[in-house]
Structure 1
Amino acid sequence: MSDWERASTARVLPPARPRKLAKVPFVELADGRVQGVVSSGSDIGRVYVSSVAASTYEFACSTNNNRPCGGARGMFCNHILALITEAVLQYGAERVARYLRVEVAADELTAQVIAGTMSGTRPSQGDNAAAASVFSQFLRHLAYLEFAPSTAPVPELQWFPPTRAVV
């Protein structure tokens, strides 16, 4: 058993490439979707919660106040395109394509090709049921920024039970 398997911390994979967080502060591959939070280009106080489902490529985009995105009318809006681009930077094109189940030649793997392939299948606009949980996860991640730097354990991040009884 390796050292990291015995530790009470989760192994964090470094991003495929460094990315700037101003446009897309939060992106994840979770719940069968690429999902995240994208900053508005026109209003500094507004963010969009965007997602694309694996296999079906059903997409959703709305503001944090649950108002629909004006650009997501039957096709991917700029927020979703930015989300896919940042997911590729964070996780790598191969992993994103595999997660979304997009069939693309290995030599053509880019965010634009992945988005174009999904758009070519005429994805449908889905409901925004996941928006609240995605935005809640984003806010939970932001809360950790308020903690002072420390090497002490964070109770919310201790998911694993102790390996031996504490007397």
Structure 2
Amino acid sequence: MPVWERSSTARVVPPARPRKLAKVPFVELADGRLQGVVSSGSDTGRVYVSSIAAGTYAFACSTNNNRPCGGARGSFCNHLRALVTEAVLQYGAGRVARYLKADTPDAEPGAAALVSAMTATRPAQGDTSAAAPVFSRFLRHLAYLELEPTTLPVPEMHWFPPTRAVA
């Protein structure tokens, strides 16, 4: 068994390219969506939870307390565009395009080509029901950043109870 399988830490896939976390501090490909947290351009105390559904490109953008984004009325707002840009930096354009099922003419599209391909289909505005779990996961990640570095097990990260031999 490799050493990494016997530890309480998980391997992390390094980003495709380095990115700055100030504008989009949290981005993930999960639950059939590209989703994340995007900082407001006008208010430093406000963040938006943005998501784009794979395949349909249904989008949602709202503040962390469920106020709708004023720019996401019928098309992608700047928060959604920033989310796609940072996802391309984090995961690579090919992986993001495959996950979202976006057909682009380029073999390795950039963020602008991905946004163009998705908006050309005239996606509908989706529901914001995913905002709360996404924001909650973001806050959980922030809490882990406050922990002191250690090689000892972190109790919050032990997801599986110990097993006992059954007699």
| Structure-1-length-normalised TM-score | 0.92
SS of residue in 2 equivalent to 1:36: strand
**Distance apart, 1:162 and its partner CA:** 5.1
CA distance in 2, matches of 1:127, 1:138: 19
Give the gaps of 5 or more residues in structure 1: none
CA deviation digits over 1:121-151, x for unaligned, max 9? 0000011000000000001111112212222
Is contact 2:93-2:108 (8 Å) kept?
no
SS of residue in 1 equivalent to 2:61: strand
SS of residue in 2 equivalent to 1:159: coil
Give the corresponding residue for 2:130. Answer: 130
CA distance in 2, matches of 1:49, 1:90: 17
CA deviation digits over 1:63-114, x for unaligned, max 9? 1111000000110000000000000000000100000001124445101101
Q: CA RMSD in A?
A: 1.7
SS of residue in 2 equivalent to 1:133: helix
* Stretch moving more, 70-79 or 150-159: 150-159
Taking structure 1 as reference, are residues 19 and 164 closer, same or farther at Cα in structure 2, changes over 3 Å only?
farther
After superposition, residues 4-153 of structure 1 pair within 5 angstroms as 4-153=4-153
SS of residue in 1 equivalent to 2:4: helix
Which aligned segments of 4 or more residues in structure 1 are displaced greater than 6 angstroms? none
Is contact 2:60-2:128 (8 Å) kept?
yes
CA distance in 1, matches of 2:144, 2:3: 25
Number of residues paired by the alignment? 165
**Distance apart, 1:163 and its partner CA:** 7.7
Give the gaps of 5 or more residues in structure 2: none
CA deviation digits over 1:12-70, x for unaligned, max 9? 10000000000000000000000000000000000000000000000000011110000
* Stretch moving more, 97-106 or 117-126: 97-106
Q: 1:157 is matched by which residue type in structure 2?
A: M
Q: Report % sequence identity.
A: 75
Is contact 2:19-2:90 (8 Å) kept?
yes
SS of residue in 2 equivalent to 1:153: coil
